[in-house]
Every structure is written in C-alpha cells, then in structure tokens.
Amino acid sequence: MKVLIVDDNDMMREVIKTFLEQLKHEVLGEEENGDGAIRSFVALHPDLVLMDMVMPGKSGLEALEEIRKIDPAAKVIVITAVEQDGIDKMIFEKGAAAIIRKPFSCDELEKAINHLA
C-alpha cells in the first residue's frame, strides 16, 4: 500500500515509516501539518493517509474533512494520544477508517491497515 504520513513530530514520523517499511508498504511522503497533508494527498494520491490529530496550524480533523471532500473514498487512519469518546465520534463522523492510540505497536498498525483491505 502507498502511504502518506502526517505528524508534527519527526521521531513519530520515523517510527511510523519504519513500521510501514517492515510491513512492506511504500511511504510516498511525509508532512508535519494539515495543510501539507492536503497538498501531498492531491499531488501523490496515496492509498492510505496516517494522520496525527493535534498539529500546529490545520488540525488532523480539519485535514481529514478536506481530504474526504476531495476524495470521499480516501482511507485515513487517525493516530492520536487523545482519548475521549466525543472526539472518537467526531473523527469517525468526518470519515476516518480507524483510530490508533499512541503509543502503538507495529502489530496494532498492521491490524488497522489489514482491516481496510
């Protein structure tokens, strides 16, 4: 699967990239905010976006909503440390395919990706 990683933390992007490479997925690009996520989504046409929620500037939730307007079939997995039922409901209403909680394992990421197939 071709993946776009969006997280404002360099180390988290590196961890996600390493996990994806272990799982034999191709990382098309990396972004550190919601605006970059939207630009790269349009330019790269990834099969999957892995997106943090809390980022400076445009949030992951705002970027998720815009990406789903561009492509209603877009697959976005939200990766977040925020744990609230209300937030989860909003994330799924905006069109996320899954939510992964930080910190997470390679197995958890693989399970979420396989659930999309």
Which domain range does residue 9 map to? Answer: 2-116
Number of domains in the chain: 1
Predicted confidence (pLDDT) per residue in 71-87, tens digit: 999 999 999 998 877 88
Q: What is the mean pLDDT of residues 44-65?
A: 96
**DSSP assignment of the chain, as one string?**
-EEEEE-S-HHHHHHHHHHHHHTT-EEEEEESSHHHHHHHHHHH--SEEEEES--SSS-HHHHHHHHHHH-TT--EEEEES---HHHHHHHHHTT-SEEEESS--HHHHHHHHHHH-
Domain of 13: which CATH number?
Answer: 3.40.50.2300
pTM: 0.96
